[in-house]
Chains A and B, each alone.
Chain A
Amino acid sequence: MARHNLRAYLRHIAKTVRPSFWMPEEMLYEIFSWLPPESLIRFKCVCKSWYSLITSIIKNPFFVATHLGKAQNNVFSPESLLIVGHHVVRPGQRINHNIFLLNVSDDGGEKDEIHPVIEELDLRSPWGRGNMRDDKFRRMMGSDLCKTEFYHCDGIICLMARDKIMLWNPALVDSKILPPANNVFNWKKVEATGIGYDPIATDYKILRIWTHDLIEMYSLNTNTWNETSKGPDKVNMLEYKMEVCHKGVCYWFFNGCRKNMVRSVNLHSGQSQIIPLPGRKSCSRTLQVWNDSIAFVSFHRRKGTTGSIEMWVTRNYSGTISDSSLWIKYLSIVNPEGIRRPLRILKGDELLLKGEDESFFFYNLHTRRLRKLIIDEIGGIIFWGSSYVESLVSVNRQGQA
């Protein structure tokens, strides 16, 4: 009875003392899941209860995953691509490579030219603030930025220099350098690298595939490297850079084959497969995630023609592809004047293409319209990343130094 009275009293107090916009914690949780990381971190300062709520939810894997889903739908910010290039400089000026975000949000699509907004991303980099200088980066990573391999996965940027690998989440100003693997890196023997999310283990993994029968896999959850076998096949010459990772499977193209082929590696089981792709041998090509499945875009050219771009899709419930996948030709652009290379498929169903002389185009998959992307300030783009998301995925897991 006494307890009942106390509760009634507390309820009464709460009613009278509560400010008019008092929110239950579950409601704040919902609201917070719609906020970009920067706002969330800043709002820790509002009061003690917000501080403890935010501090705990940004470490809660379920909240982080919900938040990531919203970030991927571009709730907080318009779609932007991660690129690495340098500011256009006058002759004689020093070239500094830099990481940029290219905001490609659609402007209604009436014009034939698109002028994306470009922003520098390195302001929150671990190698120092302000305008990044290559030498600061070199001191930290033992290699130049322009010689570094880049990946992006769920807001984590992965930088692979010769013998150091860094993970960095700019939205959280959070970074770390991975512990060294058992095998010392060797340019001649590491044939491919990659990164991806393993949905079964809810873990991010980094891969190095060696020319001999070895795949090294780093797990962010355990902060350790493991080794698996890549299988008995004898086909080598993978492209160094991973094409895409989707539903826990990573893909690389083979170089020097007479047909288009990829190697897949399952991040969970470590199982690897060689998968033939449709169409004639490409001059340039890419694998992209489109409508939650894998699409293959290829440019090829025969002598005396300007070539053609083909886009192939496959419908698998799993969203992955295998050697028994059926491919359907979705699109064919014959004689695409001046186009050399398919780069990405964006969320708005725009196919990003590279033309001659560092020119770039959007080709809309529905309206079939070609528009030019005007990037005046940035030159020498060495990396086109996937759509960047501001995520709460920390690269430093709890309980790890």
Chain B
Amino acid sequence: MSSSSTTTTTTRLLMLKASDGVTFEVEEAVATKLGAINNMVEEEGSEDLICLPNVNGKFLGMVLEWCKKHANNNTNSDKGNDEVNKWWDKEFVMDLDQNTLYHLLMAADYLSGTELVDLLTEKVASMIRGKKVEEIRETFKIKSDFLPGQEEEIRKKNSWAFE
């Protein structure tokens, strides 16, 4: 904790290039909130330009916005800050439409942003919790592929969950 350390703490800047060519210049400490990027940076002799062909610029931007917020507050993790972050997270996911949520989740997963995946999967769960089977199929665009009678059998067996 002494201030005698003279190592200059110039933060390294990374360039992240999304699938559509959009690039983001971010501090290393922010980008390494993402496990995938952390792994790349830890490899010795890594370049400052990182190409992410599986993430669209729009969603990469959102993921990085989240990282920035959580990297800043990482240093002093007292309870008050926790509350602020929680509140910020709540706002962050509050008005996401289904399409954005889906792509954001895929991006977060691809980049191994574990905490962000947690936040987003909880959001998805809160949207489908308590819904009917038909509504779920509608939401996830899933067609029932049960053979005739199979579904009825499952329903009958667990009738209490369908009331």
Q: Name A residues whose Cβ lies closer than 8 Å to a Cβ of B.
A: 19-21, 23-24, 26-27, 30-36, 38-39, 41-48, 50-51, 75-76, 124, 173
Contact = CB atoms under 8 A, between A and B. Distances in A.
Contacts of B146: 45, 47-48, 51
A76 B146 CA distance: 29
Given A21-B139, A47-B142, A48-B146, A35 B109 contact: no
Given A27-B105, A51-B154, A35 B144 contact: no
B133 A27 contact: no
Contact residues of B: prevailing secondary structure: helix
A31 B158 contact: no
Contacts of A19: 140-142
Given A45-B155, A47-B143, A75-B122, A39 B131 contact: yes
Contacts, number: 84
Nearest to B105: A27
Interface of B: 98-99, 102, 105-106, 109, 117-118, 121-122, 124-126, 128-133, 136-137, 139-146, 151, 154-155, 158, 160-162
Q: Which 4 A-B pairs have the closest CB atoms?
A: A34-B125, A19-B141, A30-B121, A41-B161
Contacts of B130: 39
A32 B122 CA distance: 9
8 contacts: A21-B139, A31-B125, A32-B125, A39-B131, A42-B162, A44-B158, A46-B140, A50-B142
Nearest to A43: B136
Nearest to A23: B140
Nearest to A20: B141
Nearest to A76: B129
Contacts of B151: 45
B1 to A, nearest CB: 24
Nearest to A27: B109
B154 A44 contact: yes
B162 A21 contact: no
A36 B130 CA distance: 8
A35 B161 contact: no
Given A34-B121, A35-B128, A42 B158 contact: yes
A42 B109 contact: no
A36 B129 CA distance: 7
Most chain B beta-carbon neighbours within 10 Å: one of A27, A32, A48: A27
Contacts of B131: 39
A21 B99 CA distance: 8
B105 to A, nearest CB: 7
Given A36-B129, A45-B154, 9 more contacts: A20-B99, A21-B139, A27-B117, A30-B118, A34-B126, A38-B160, A39-B128, A39-B130, A46-B142
A42 B135 CA distance: 12
Contacts of A48: 145-146
A24 B151 CA distance: 23
A379 B161 CA distance: 30
Contacts of A23: 140
A45 B98 CA distance: 22
Contacts of A124: 160
A53 to B, nearest CB: 12
Contact of A47 (B124, B145, B160): B145
Contact of B121 (A27, A36, A38, A76): A27
Most chain B beta-carbon neighbours within 10 Å: one of A31, A45, A51, A76: A45
A50 B131 CA distance: 15
B98 A21 contact: yes
A31 B124 contact: yes
A30 B132 CA distance: 20
Given A34-B125, A48-B146, A42 B161 contact: yes
Contacts of B105: 27
Given A30-B117, A75-B122, A39 B129 contact: yes
Contacts of A76: 129
